Amino acid sequence: MRLRALALALVPRSASVSLAARRVAARPRPVDPPRVKPVTIQIGKTMPKDIEDTIVKPDGAAARQDLLKWWDAGHRAMPWRRETPADDKKAWAYGVWVSEVMLQQTQVSRVDPYWRRWMERWPSVESLARADESDVKALWSGLGYYRRCAFLLEGAKQLASANEWPTSKDQWLKVKGVGPYTAAAISSIVYGERTPVVDGNVVRVFSRLAMCGEKPTAKVWWSLAGSLTDGCDRPGAVNQALMELGATACSKQKPSCGGCPLRGHCAAFKGQVVDKYPVVVKKAPPVKVAVCLVVLRHNDRVALVAPQSDRSKSPFRLEGLWELPGTRIEGEPDENAIVQGLDDALRALGPTTKGLRAKKPLSHSITSTRYAVHVQRCDVDDPALYSNVEWVAADDLGTKGCSSVVKKAVDAAAKIDAKRKLPKGQQTLSFKPAKKATTRVSPPPEPVTVTPPSPPQLATPSAFGAYAFAE
């Protein structure tokens, strides 16, 4: 009411302005609604709900036919592959299971000898279930990702005590440490279940076949792979062929499209943009960590620290592995911090002693962590002074469950030259002792024979011109 009265008072009171006009001026001005751009709806077209609606799906039946023709013509021979179905499917499934676990993040050429040694040592699930964990990790030493062998051992114990052997994907998913990929691989290859597999090689193939420009969800990859196994009589062969294709012709760098059986179905090949797929996702920078390791030596033996149940106490955050005494320093420490870390590692076991240190650190990587490993060698006379260690012959390190960095550090320590003396006991790997200077004794002078001068002769022309070149 006060606002209205004020508005009336502001309107000039003249004879030409009526009371009605003054009332209209006193009314509050309406607020204009926000301007919204008109929406155009096209009949018959719908907006994509997710990325699955934007990809180009291949003809599954036709692509499968061409893929199997290529597979049957020839593929790599691997010890765990069977060209014909085996009668003992339980043994076959066990071998495939071991191979698929080993092949995770590991190349075939590296897995081959490990798989052969494993199957010779533990040819059945029952024999693996009775194995000691330290023996399993010792055989696995060098493959990395040691939780894989621990899951194999736990899964074997579970299966050995079970009354029923798994034959389907859903049943294999109940086994300790078995994920969707491994369960699908075993059930399709051994038992012929129509289920797809998705690993890095399969993702690469379908990222080019369907031109997946964005980073799809796992649902998209499983749907694309399923388009080739649905209604298939040989799902195991299809899955193995897809993985083989991704590892060979459809490789990450320089794919061989001329020999690819699916080039007629490949959207990226038709668009001549194969090199653009898969879309590279920028990874986070690696984490940098420094580790100070002490190689305690007594004659030909090396001191190892027993496996830690608490990963936080391990310099490399490893569980259940024998390691060298060491300390962990996050980031890139300076020289003083490295010296202190080496001293702390030695002091935790016994008396400190002068050591010989490698000048350059070793490089070691575990997943996304990059380690700079500083190695110091200490030769001791009385091993009894050092507690909580086990003295192992350097040649027998392969029989212990050790990380590959242990052997690298021991080998580096053995190359340190103990003859060169530097301040603080530091030593270099690249040092070479200087050669002793030798005094050359000149032979006695020969007697000088004086001959009369010969008459001058004219120069003889040569093939190079008027005169021969002087040496």
Domain boundaries, the chain: 1-31, 60-276, 287-425
Q: Which residue has the tokens 């005494």?
A: 325
Beta bridge partners of 322: 402
Q: How does residue 52 score in pLDDT terms, banded at 50, 70 and 90?
A: low
Average pLDDT, the chain: 80
Mind listing the pLDDT tens digit for each residue in 361-377?
999 998 889 999 999 99
CATH of domain 60-276: 1.10.340.30
Mind listing the pLDDT tens digit for each residue in 321-353?
899 999 999 999 999 999 999 999 988 888 877
Greatest Cα-to-Cα distance within the chain, rounded to the nearest angstrom: 153
Mind listing the pLDDT tens digit for each residue in 3-15?
455 444 554 544 4
Q: Please state which architecture CATH assigns to domain 287-425.
A: Alpha-Beta Complex (3.90)
Helix, coil or strand: residue 228: helix
Mind listing the pLDDT tens digit for each residue in 410-459?
999 988 865 444 444 444 433 333 444 444 555 555 554 445 554 444 34
CB 245 within 8 A of CB 206: no
| One-character DSSP codes across 125-190 | HHHHHTS-HHHHHHHHTTS--THHHHHHHHHHHHHHH-SS---SHHHHTTSTT--HHHHHHHHHHT
pTM of the model: 0.69
The set of catalytic residues is 100
- pLDDT for the residue 53: 57
More confident residue, 167 or 430: 167
Give the C-alpha distances (Å, rounded to integers) separating 125 from 118, 129, 159, 196: 11, 6, 7, 25
Half-sphere exposure for 375 (CA within 13 Å, toward CB): 26
Top mean-pLDDT range of 121-130, 210-219, 226-235: 121-130
Q: In this structure, which amino acid lies at residue 210?
A: A
